Structure 1
Amino acid sequence: MASLLQEELFERRGQAPAPSKDFCQLLVTRRQVIFRWWRISLRNECREARPGEIKESHEDFLDNSSLQIQIAIIFGAKVLEHVLNLCRGKFDFLERLPVPLLLYIISFLELEDIARLSQVSHRLKMICNSNALWEGIVENLCDTITPEMRELAQEMGWKQLFFTNRLQLQLQLRRRREKRAEEEKLTE
């Protein structure tokens, strides 16, 4: 399964916290953890400083607590935990799947499972709440979708349309028809 991974597993760039203004890059490949930094300072003694780089194998990185602390300070504890998991060989293949494939897989889940999956990560939350997913769910579960319903779904969102009860939906559609009729009278 690891052969499905690209050479570059993870990359993050950022600025070190104040008072430092150094720019840093963290890159995790299949074999190495690479930490790069560029000193940014107005002081004369720092102007000649060259960019720095540390390259370590995954095993060496797992033993280097000082580099781990530095990464946690700059990029945060969650990023450090993710990098540690990558170095230990714990890959999250679900997160790496392309969105169309994830939408296809999620479309087979029960609604409760979609709600649970949306709590796994920010990316999956966005996908589980996307109009593309809910449009497919509505089309699969509803017998007919009128152009008027499609228009309403575009305005309010397909997920909202799905969870709107039939009486409320009929009321909203009737209001839209009445509003259109009034607008047509005014334009005549």
Structure 2
Amino acid sequence: MASWLPETLYEILGQGPAPSKDYYQLLITRSQVVFRWWKISLRSGYQSTKPGEAKESHEDFLENSHLQIQIALIFGARILDYVFGLCEGKFDFLERLSDNVLLIILSYLDLEDIASLSQTSHRFLKLCRSDQLWERIVETACEVTPDMRALAGDIGWRQMFFTKAQPARKRKQSGGSEEDRQL
């Protein structure tokens, strides 16, 4: 399965903690951890400082506590844990699926699951809030009329779901409208 993976498994850029203005890149490939830095300073002693780079194999990175500490200080403990997982061969194949495939999968989830998933990463937050997802959900919840499409163009499909489609879906699940239940 690892052969399905692209050469670059993960990449992140960031600035060092204040008061540093230095920039850093962390690149994880199939075989290496590459850590690059660029010193940014107006001080005369640092103006001629060249960018630096450290390359380690996955196995060597797992034993290099100095590099691990640098990564944790700059990018945080969560990123360090993620890099450890990649170096140990724990790949997140769900994150590697295309947006179109993920939108199809997400459209089958319960609302609570969509809300939880949106909190896991920036990518899933974007997908869980996307009009493409909510259009699919609305279309499965109720029949979409041309007027609904026009309104969704103005207010968005997510808002459309919570104002129009979800109440219709609840009536459908409970066996009719409020008036029908009273009769």
Normalising by structure 2, we get a TM-score of 0.80
In the alignment, is residue 90 of structure 1 matched against residue 102 of structure 2?
Answer: no
Alignment of 1:57-72 (within 5 A): 57-72=57-72
The change in CA–CA distance for 1:23 and 1:155 in structure 2 (over 3 A counts) is: same
For residue 35 of structure 1, report the CA deviation from its aligned partner: 0.9
CA distance in 1, matches of 2:116, 2:19: 41
Residue aligning to 2:46: 46
Shift in Å, 1:67: 0.9
Percent identity between matched residues is 62
CA distance in 2: counterparts of 1:43 and 1:121, whole angstroms:
38
Tell me the CA shift for residue 93 of structure 1.
Answer: 1.1
Kindly provide the CA deviation profile for residues 145-172 of structure 1, in whole angstroms up to 9, marking residues without a partner as x. Answer: 2221112222222222222258x89xxx
Mapping for residues 14-163 of structure 1, pairs under 5 Å: 14-143=14-143, 145-163=144-162
Q: Which amino acid aligns with 2:7?
A: E
Q: How far, CA to CA, are the matches of 1:78 and 1:64 in structure 2?
A: 17
Residues 63 and 146 of structure 1: is their aligned pair in 2 closer, same or farther, counting only changes over 3 Å? Answer: same
Give the secondary-structure state (helix, strand or coil) at the position aligned to 2:46.
Answer: helix
Distance 1:20 1:119, change over 3 A: closer
The alpha-carbon deviation at position 63 of structure 1 amounts to 1.0
Structure 2 CA distance for aligned equivalents of residues 93 and 135 of structure 1: 25
Structure 1: runs of 5 or more not aligned = 170-188
Q: CA 1:105 to 1:53, structure 2 compared with 1: closer, same or farther past 3 Å?
A: same
What TM-score results when the alignment is normalised by the length of structure 1?
A: 0.78
Partner Cα separation in structure 2 for residue 26 and residue 163 of structure 1? 41
Matched pairs, number: 167
Larger radius of gyration: 1
Alignment of 1:149-188 (within 5 A): 149-164=148-163
Which stretch of the first structure deviates more once superposed, 133-142 or 51-60? 133-142
Q: Secondary structure of 2:45's match?
A: helix
C-alpha change, 1:109 and 1:17, in structure 2 (3 Å) is closer
Describe the superposition over 1:118-159 as per-residue Cα deviations: whole angstroms up to 9, x where unpaired: 33333212212221111112122323x222111222222222
2:145 & 2:102 partners in 1: Cα distance? 27
| Counterpart code for 2:12 | R
| 1:162 maps to amino acid | F
- In structure 2, stretches of 5+ residues that fail to align are 169-183
Change (3 A) 1:50 1:3: same
